[in-house]
Amino acid sequence: MANAKSSERTLYEGMFLYPQSFGPNLGAAADEVKSILERAGAELVLLTKWDERRLAYEIQGQKRGVYLLAYFYCPGVGISSIERDCNLSENVLRAMCLKADHMGETELEAAKEEFTDIAVEVATRGEQGEAGEQTEAVKEQEAEVASEATDAEGETPSDTTEAVAADA
């Protein structure tokens, strides 16, 4: 009977706190949480960024943190493994796993709809980062062209444009 109890998979809710430096790089934090849960034999249902906020007190010199919220099925014996891995990790500031007895299937489905999965958020941030880098690169190129045009003829770029238009 003890073996039947230990192999039962129960729904848990886990909160993982990372330093603010992981805010722009959520993928690394998400991958670490996923690997911790996989090593414990957990089945991940939902992993999302819950919030990024100021901490009530400093933890390991950090004043702000990023909270990741996870819902997962895990045998009861796996929780101690998750807590141990989080304590050994240099990146995880705090972690807490609770039985999600309050969550039924309908609440879990509602949570899936309410929260954006972390993979979607990481992809969105990646696209925004690439777009921002491209915009900065374009601005730098435009500034270089404008400065070269001014240096070459001693004219402003608008004067050069007007001269080209008059020649045509």
pLDDT in tens, the chain (168 residues): 444 455 678 999 999 999 999 988 889 999 999 999 999 999 999 999 998 999 999 999 999 999 999 999 999 899 999 999 999 999 999 999 999 888 877 777 877 777 777 777 777 766 555 444 444 544 555 555 455 545 555 554 445 445 444 554
Cβ within 8 Å of residue 92, ≥6 positions away: 16, 17, 18, 32, 86
User: In whole angstroms, how far apart are CA 21 and each of 53, 63, 128?
Assistant: 12, 11, 18
For residue 89, give its domain range.
2-115
Instruction: State the DSSP string of the chain.
Output: -HHHHHH-EEEEEEEEEEEGGGSTTHHHHHHHHHHHHHHTT-EEEEEEEEEEEEEEEEETTEEEEEEEEEEEEEETTHHHHHHHHHHH-SS-SEEEEEE-TT--HHHHHHHHHHSPPHHHHHHHHHHHHHHHHHHHHHHHHHHHHHHHHHHHHSS-HHHHHHHHHHH-
- Do 143 and 163 have their domain in common? yes
- Do 109 and 130 have their domain in common? no
Report pLDDT for 145: 47
- Do 13 and 93 have their domain in common? yes
**Residue that is last in its domain, among 98, 115, 132:** 115
Overall number of domains in the chain: 2
At 108-121, the pLDDT tens digits run 787 777 777 777 77
Report pLDDT for 114: 75
Report pLDDT for 142: 53
